[in-house]
A and B are shown apart, each in its own frame.
Chain A
Amino acid sequence: MALPLALLALVVIAALVAGGFAAAVLEQRIGRNTLYAAQAAGAAEAGAVAVVGEWEGHGLGFLAPGDSAMLPAAALPGRTVYSPTVTRLNQELFLVRVAAVRSDADGGALARREVELLVRVADSAIAGGPPVWPLRNRAWVVSP
């Protein structure tokens, strides 16, 4: 009688511990994944800003309307890499699309985020200014 009861009690306790452990692991993973996603989103936004800042260095002003240029991927601290693509929509507008990946130590993707930014050729009247600037409103495109 005592042995089956003791075994039953052990099974119940083990199930409770396993349940609690599983719940804790799940919460930890969700939290970590949220952090990875935020790091990837931050890298993508940093990449978009960097592309606009280094516009002339990439020679993007020579793109023909409808053409795209894939720029070299750049690594950021914290195992994030962003890869920009710039598409010239027409003579005045460009779409900067940046995909960023947060990887683990082995290079496996943990999170991926993408942002898009609409930029416009700057007014030629402003001497010495930047060659392009983000649209005054609705510059950031929310990907569906």
Chain B
Amino acid sequence: MSARRGFTLVELAVALVLGLMVGGLVHRMLLHGQRLARAQFERMALQENVRVAALVLAGELGGIGYDEITPEASAALGYPAAIRSDLLAVEPGAVTYLAGRGGGSVCGVAPGPTPEIVVMERSWESLRAPRATDSLLVFVESDPAIGSDDAWIHLGILSAGTGSCPGGEAGIAVRVAAPAPLDPAALTGVTPGSPARLAEVMQIRYYQSGGKSWLGMRSVSTGEAVTPMAGPLADSSAGVRGLTLVYRDAADGPTSDPAAVRAVEIALLGVTDQPIHGRDPRRALVDSLALSTRVAPRNALRP
């Protein structure tokens, strides 16, 4: 029996190599797990971003309408006949439009050079109060016996506050400026109960900030700066657009005329915020997700 105790050099070397191999395997497994977890998080955020962008665009553009001043309405109101779309400017990466912000029913109109329109407070459905930068769209029914002379008139809001209806019910008083050449006296013909809608000019656009591309929104009415809604989206500098809007006319052909738009195709291409290890475990790459949808505004002209 040998008097020596402990390990031989060979045993220690073998143990060291085996230990290193096991340690390396564990490290690799942990690293792979961490990368996989991060990739999952990035992909979830990517899907969420693209989904939010599509929902916001569809929701905002779905409410787009138009106003028609028919020849009969023109004759009754002394206002030029016209068809005006809520779409104010259409580009592949941006859209400017008149967005609805709720409304209510008119209960009274105080005449004057700047008439005061009172809306029943209990009928008011809006996430916010009217602002001086908003528009008020009021339904004017000239001759109750015929519908062809009905019209929605756009009025610029000068001020808004509390008021009261003729019966004493609580109301929201909105002082407005009539658009030229409309005689403000024509607004006294607004029938009590007629709908009034609050609207503001909004813009949704694809823009770059901090080296990345985003989908942003801003109120043109208030002149605010664009704020990001969703992103990052694919970069236009690489020849790939993160947002492409295609406007379709009644014949489903592409158009750049806002008044001719009957549907909008939305193509979104989102990218992950950070490169992730996907199919290629050796290289981290920016992953992308494409989503397309089509919106046909319900209040648009038909066909």
Contact = CB atoms under 8 A, between A and B. Distances in A.
Interface of A: 5, 8-9, 12-13, 15-16, 19-20, 23, 26-27, 30, 65-66, 88-93, 95, 118, 120, 122-125, 133, 135-144
Contact of B62 (A20, A123, A142): A142
Contacts of A125: 145-146
B191 A23 contact: no
Contacts of B36: 16, 19-20
Contacts of B51: 30
A123 B144 CA distance: 9
Interface of B: 22, 26, 29-30, 33, 36-37, 40, 43-44, 47, 51, 62-63, 65-68, 100-103, 105, 125-127, 137, 139, 141, 144-148, 150, 152, 191-195, 197, 298-299, 301
Contacts of A27: 44, 47
A13 to B, nearest CB: 8
A122 B145 CA distance: 9
Nearest to B59: A142
A140 B299 contact: yes
A90 to B, nearest CB: 3
Contacts, number: 98
B59 to A, nearest CB: 8
A144 B123 CA distance: 13
B100 A92 contact: no
Given A139-B298, A142-B62, 16 more contacts: A12-B33, A89-B105, A92-B147, A93-B141, A93-B193, A95-B195, A120-B147, A135-B139, A135-B150, A137-B67, A137-B299, A138-B139, A138-B299, A140-B299, A141-B103, A144-B126
A91 B193 CA distance: 9
B191 to A, nearest CB: 5
A91 B147 CA distance: 13
A137 B259 CA distance: 14
B194 A138 contact: no
Given A5-B26, A120-B150, A144-B125, A93 B139 contact: yes
23 contacts: A5-B26, A12-B30, A19-B37, A20-B36, A23-B40, A65-B192, A89-B193, A90-B191, A90-B193, A90-B194, A91-B191, A93-B139, A93-B195, A123-B145, A136-B150, A137-B152, A138-B67, A138-B152, A138-B197, A138-B299, A142-B100, A143-B125, A144-B101
